[in-house]
Each structure stands twice: as C-alpha cells, then as structure tokens.
Amino acid sequence: MIKWYPDKSDSTTKWPYLMLSNQLDIAGNIAIKRAGSTEKELDLVDYSGNIDLPDSIDKNLHKTFDKIKLSLSISLISPEEENFLDVCQSENDVSILFNLNCDRTNMQINKTVDFVSPITHYEIEIPRNELYGELDLEVFGTLNTDYDTDEDDVAYKKGSVIATSIPVRIITDYVGGLFGGRIKEKFEKFDNNKKNALYHFEFQDELPVIIYNTRFKNFIELIKQNTKEGNSQTLFRDFILRSFVSQIYYDLAGRLEQDSDHDYIPESLEYKVAKSVGKQLKKKRIQEILDFIQGTQELEDTNEVCSLLQHSFKLGPALEKALENNQDETE
C-alpha cells in the first residue's frame, strides 16, 4: 500500500485537514480471461472487501486463466451528505488515483484519471504472471492543483489526498507461507556483510520474519513463481524452501522455553515447532521434547537436532529429485 505523507504532517494516520475518509465506493466487476475470452465475471457488489478467486471459479479455470480485467466504477458513498466541495474549491480540482499492489510479484500500478461526477470509470488488464497471493486495491481522491490559501484546515498542495476508499483485496492464490503463514516473508536488498546471503531470519516485534535478498533476481523469481508440480523450477524451489525451513526450525527450537511450568497454546508457533521437532525424535510430550533440546544445547551437540530436522524435511530426496529431473530435461 502507498504510504501517504499529508500536507504539514509526517503522520500516515492523522490528517491535518478536512477530508472524506472511506467515502469512495469501489464498484464494478472482475473478468477472468483465458485465451482472449472472458470465462467468468465476478461482481464486486457480491463481496465485502475480500474477493476469493480460487473459491469463486472452478479449479481448471484457476489453473489456466491468463489475465484478469478490472472494470471499476468509483463514486461517493453519500454525496448528499459529504462531497468534494466540502474539502476543496471545485470538483474540477479532483483526480482519482488507483493503486494496485501485489507484494509477492513486486507489481505496483498507480494510475491517475480525472474525476467524473457522479461515477468515474477505469479499466485495466493484469497478466496472470504478475499475480500471486493477493492483489490489493485502493482508490484515492487527490488535488490536481495548488491552492493559495491561509486556511489551516484545508488541503492546498497538488497531490494531497482528500478522499479515500475502503481497501479491496483480491485473493488470487492460497499461499500458506512458512509455518502456515505464521512466519512473514519480506523482500529486501541486502548490503555490506550480508549482500551475498540468500535470506535472513529475525524477529520483528516478537514475530518471526524471513527476508529474501533481492540482489539475486533469478532466486527471487524462483521463490515467487507459481509453476506446475513436477516442473524443474518447482523442484528446485521446493528444495530451497525445505532447507530454509529446516534451519529456521532449528533456530526456533533453541528459543523454546525450558521451564517445565510453561504452557504452550496448541495453535501457537512455539507449540508447532516443538511438535515438529518431537515427531523426528519420536517423542510426543512437549516436556520430553524440551528436555532433549535442552540436553543437546548443554552438551553442545546441536548438530544432532540439525541433522534430524534435515531428515524431517527430506532435504536429500528433494535435491536428488530436482537434479534427476534436470538431467532428464537436458538429455
């Protein structure tokens, strides 16, 4: 999402002037296209905020569609109560900005069009290869001119946001993510003594985050690609992610509480980590698992847990399968 810095303020949550917050209505439809033909249309009116494509179209179409077309209609929710003349001098001074963002493919589209009363229309087609995970849509009303005014409670700079919509999210793929989505994934360019690393794992605000190094474009494309099962790229991606997850589990295992009185909530990340480690140790009770991990740490025999986790995530078979498939394709 765009981080807007309004006039006379560096805050992204408080506006120092009058504005129409969440007063822009997003209507229209999404056309699911394949080979130039529209196979399915979804009306935004039928959804409240989140549009779930995998749940709204049949499985075959979800696997084979090659683009979506958004036909959007933007209007004020209650123009008789709140309208642009409340926050600017003329409707002619208003533009509508469309912001579409897909984090997992690094796709971002910002398109500004003239405001047309009562409804502003906008259409755009987005290829399937630019969509993975979620597509976020927000609409803003902005000033298209500067004002010369002494009033403190009105926007006066060109580009100032004077109206917002409630965001819409289009789910294009179910992406469970590491640990069922409990570990957040980010993409950043590493510098200095980390620039040759593939990823970095850390805790941010007590939450686990894996950060991929965008210096390696082929690697990032491999991580993000939605390729078919059995494809050589899918197999290599599977091996890479398994190796990451194995190391991350190992790091997290060392963070587990050793206090016998510590209670783990069954849905917590710590509980899942402990149970996953215990599966390979052939130990079911949480305390047995923690005692084993604590013992290996005290004996500095941490390689034992590391090897067991590699076995758990089948790193050897995953790499072997990827290499075999690659040999078959090159012969």
Q: What is the pLDDT of residue 272?
A: 62
Q: What is the Cα–Cα distance from 235 to 91, expressed in whole angstroms?
A: 55
Number of H helices, E strands in the chain: 8, 13
Q: What is the Cα–Cα distance from 145 to 168, expressed in whole angstroms?
A: 28
- Give the number of other CB atoms < 10 A from CB of residue 239: 21
Q: Are 289 and 283 in contact (CB under 8 A)?
A: yes
- Give the number of other CB atoms < 10 A from CB of residue 76: 20
Q: What's 185's DSSP letter?
A: E
Q: What is the pLDDT of residue 8?
A: 37
Q: What is the pLDDT of residue 12?
A: 45
DSSP string, 138-159: EEEEEESS------SSS--STT
CB-based contacts of 137, cutoff 8 Å, min separation 6: 26, 70, 98, 99, 100, 167, 168, 169, 170
Question: Contacts for 25-28 with beta carbons within 8 Å, 24 or more apart?
Answer: 25/74, 25/75, 25/76, 25/77, 25/165, 26/72, 26/73, 26/74, 26/137, 26/139, 26/165, 26/166, 26/168, 27/72, 27/73, 27/74, 27/75, 28/70, 28/71, 28/72, 28/73
Q: What is the Cα–Cα distance from 258 to 287, expressed in whole angstroms?
A: 8
Q: What is the Cα–Cα distance from 306 to 324, expressed in whole angstroms?
A: 25
Kindly give the pairing relationship between strand 20-34 and strand 161-165: parallel
Q: Are 271 and 278 in contact (CB under 8 A)?
A: no
Q: Are 200 and 194 in contact (CB under 8 A)?
A: yes
Quick one: which of 170, 116, 168 has its CA closest to 141? Answer: 116
Q: Are 44 and 26 in contact (CB under 8 A)?
A: yes
Q: What is the Cα–Cα distance from 211 to 224, expressed in whole angstroms?
A: 13
What are the CA-CA distances from residue 42 to residues 16, 50, 122, 163, 249 (Å)?
A: 38, 12, 16, 26, 41
Q: pLDDT tens digits for the chain (331 residues)?
A: 333 334 433 334 467 888 899 999 999 999 999 999 999 999 998 887 789 898 899 989 998 999 999 999 999 999 999 999 999 999 999 999 999 999 878 899 999 999 999 999 999 999 998 998 889 999 999 999 999 988 878 899 999 999 999 889 998 887 655 555 556 778 888 888 888 988 888 766 656 678 888 888 888 877 776 555 556 777 777 778 777 777 776 666 666 654 444 556 655 666 666 666 666 556 667 677 767 666 655 445 555 666 766 676 677 777 777 777 766 665 5
Alpha-helical (H) ranges within 254-285 are 269-281
Q: Are 199 and 173 in contact (CB under 8 A)?
A: no
Q: Classify the C-alpha dihedral 317-238-67-119 as positive or negative.
A: positive
CB-based contacts of 253, cutoff 8 Å, min separation 6: 273, 274, 277, 293, 305, 309
Q: What is the pLDDT of residue 266?
A: 59
Q: What is the pLDDT of residue 14?
A: 65
Could you give the maximum distance between any two Cα atoms of the chain, in Å?
75
What are the CA-CA distances from residue 235 to residues 219, 226, 321 (Å)?
A: 13, 12, 7
